[in-house]
C-alpha cells in the first residue's frame, strides 16, 4: 500500500495498489486537464478526472 504524507499533519493518507495503478493509467492517458483526489478520514475515496479537449 502506498502512503502519501501531509507535511502539516502526522496522519497518513493511504491509497491501495489497485487505486494507485488506476491513477497512473488516468495520468498516463490525460493530455490536458486535471485529476483531483477526494479524501475522507485519511482515505482516498474518489478520483475525479477533468479532461480538456484542444481543437487547435
Name the band, by pLDDT with cuts 50, 70 and 90, for residue 50: very high
- Please tell me the predicted confidence (pLDDT) of residue 56: 82
Beta bridge partners of 35: 49
Query: How many domains are contained in the chain?
Result: 1
Q: Is residue 28 part of a domain?
A: yes
Q: Is residue 10 part of a domain?
A: yes
Q: Is residue 17 part of a domain?
A: yes
Name the band, by pLDDT with cuts 50, 70 and 90, for residue 14: confident
Q: Is residue 26 part of a domain?
A: yes
User: Which residue shows C-alpha cell 495503478?
Assistant: 21
Q: Is residue 6 part of a domain?
A: yes
Cα 37 from Cα 47, distance rounded (Å): 5
Range of the domain at 32: 2-51
Cα 52 from Cα 42, distance rounded (Å): 29
Q: Is residue 56 part of a domain?
A: no
Joined grid coordinates for residue 2: 502506498
Q: Is residue 24 part of a domain?
A: yes
Instruction: Kindly report the pTM of this predicted structure.
Output: 0.66
Amino acid at each position: 500500500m502506498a502512503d502519501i504524507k501531509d507535511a502539516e499533519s502526522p496522519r497518513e493518507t493511504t491509497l491501495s495498489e489497485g487505486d494507485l495503478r488506476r491513477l497512473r493509467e488516468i495520468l498516463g492517458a490525460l493530455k490536458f486537464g486535471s485529476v483531483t483526489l477526494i479524501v475522507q478520514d485519511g482515505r482516498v475515496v474518489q478520483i475525479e478526472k477533468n479532461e480538456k479537449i484542444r481543437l487547435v
